[in-house]
Amino acid sequence: MATCAEPSTEAERLTAHLNTAAKCGQRASITGTVSSQIPALAAVPATKFAMAVATVDGALLHTGDSAEPFSIQSLSKLFALCVLLQQCPDAWLEIGWGPTNAGYGSVADLERNNGRPANPFVNSGAIVVTDRLITHRGDPVGATIGLLRSVDPHAAVTSDARVALSETLTGHRNSAIAHVLAEHGVLQNPIDHVLQQYFGQCAITANVQTIARAALFLADRTGNNNPLDEASVRRVNAVLLTSGMYGAAGDIAYRIGLPAKSGIGGGIVAIMPGRGTICVWSPPLDRDGNSAGAIAAIEEFARLARWSVF
């Protein structure tokens, strides 16, 4: 006789973990604060919460506001980097791969290193990625949206002009970074054009299901139909682990043990090589600028599902 006590299939087990983890994340979200760095995002309700898990076997599990697009902000740095690596696998030489404790918007760090960004996930490195995408692809925003839509061509992914304009009017720090890069001869394209594309790229909106599925190629170990070569996949995951969560990278490696990327819109995407991806959206951020609820949800899911690279 069938009992309903224990989930039997892998998908049922993961669904149970997802629901437990989402509750945990929602509870933790009250400890954070919604970012006001970009004025147009300051009014996003703190109670929004969405979580999706995509597996390499094709399962897609989700809960909460998982159909609602949100501002992916720095999650876009991951996808833009991968678009560039498709064309230029050696782009690392220009954008760096080392960790830094300086904060993602540090002008001083860039100055100290003579205009060499630390890695592609701090703003200076991401701005160089955007610059090179202008050179190689012409349209960085369109190319990044293309990668986000690669699994589902009908996915709702756009760039929110209101958010891009809001950051254009207030993004003095990013403007300073672009000028320092130009001063050191690092940019190949006009500063204003690079910034316009960078802000447009950060203003991309997508939901957690789309992001979890679009990031699956980073969990893929088969090499089949992967937009990136194997070495690039390994390197991207390594640099996500050391730099994707900014100053909290060591803490996240210790607590969770998964490569992950965060954005000030409250999104985090985490990769479990060989198994799948997790994407959570919860707007309130902790002191490191990472979503408090998303970290808690991913930590709980990874613990229950025993997802860790270690």
**Contact residues for 89 (Cβ-Cβ < 8 A; gap 6+):** 229, 231, 232
| 304: amino acid identity, one letter | L
Q: Is 299 annotated as a binding residue?
A: no
The Cα-based distances of 208 to 155, 198, 215, 229, 268 in angstroms read 11, 21, 11, 25, 9
**Residue 100 interacts with ligand GLN (CB under 6 A)?**
no
Whose Cβ is closer to ligand GLN: residue 36's or residue 308's?
36
Q: Is 224 annotated as a binding residue?
A: no
Q: Is 189 annotated as a binding residue?
A: no
Contact residue for ligand GLN among 70, 104, 217, 301 (CB under 6 A) = 104
Is 33 strand, coil or helix? Answer: strand
| 180: amino acid identity, one letter | V
Burial level of 8, CB count in 10 A (0-12/13-18/19+)?
A: exposed
Query: By CB under 6 A, how many residues form the interface with ligand GLN?
Result: 11
Distance between CA atoms of residues 258 and 237, nearest Å? 9
x/- track of binding to ligand GLN for residues 50-89 (CB under 6 A):
-----------------------xx---------------
**Residue 167 interacts with ligand GLN (CB under 6 A)?**
yes
Contact residue for ligand GLN among 174, 197, 210, 232 (CB under 6 A) = 174
Q: Is 183 annotated as a binding residue?
A: no
What is the DSSP track for 62-85?
A: EEESTTS-EE-TTHHHHHHHHHHH
| Smallest distance, ligand GLN to C-beta of residue 7, A | 35
**Residue 267 interacts with ligand GLN (CB under 6 A)?**
no
Binding residues for substrate: 74, 123, 167, 174, 198, 246
* Residues at the contact surface with ligand GLN, assessed by CB under 6 A: 73-74, 104-105, 123, 167, 174, 202, 263-264, 289
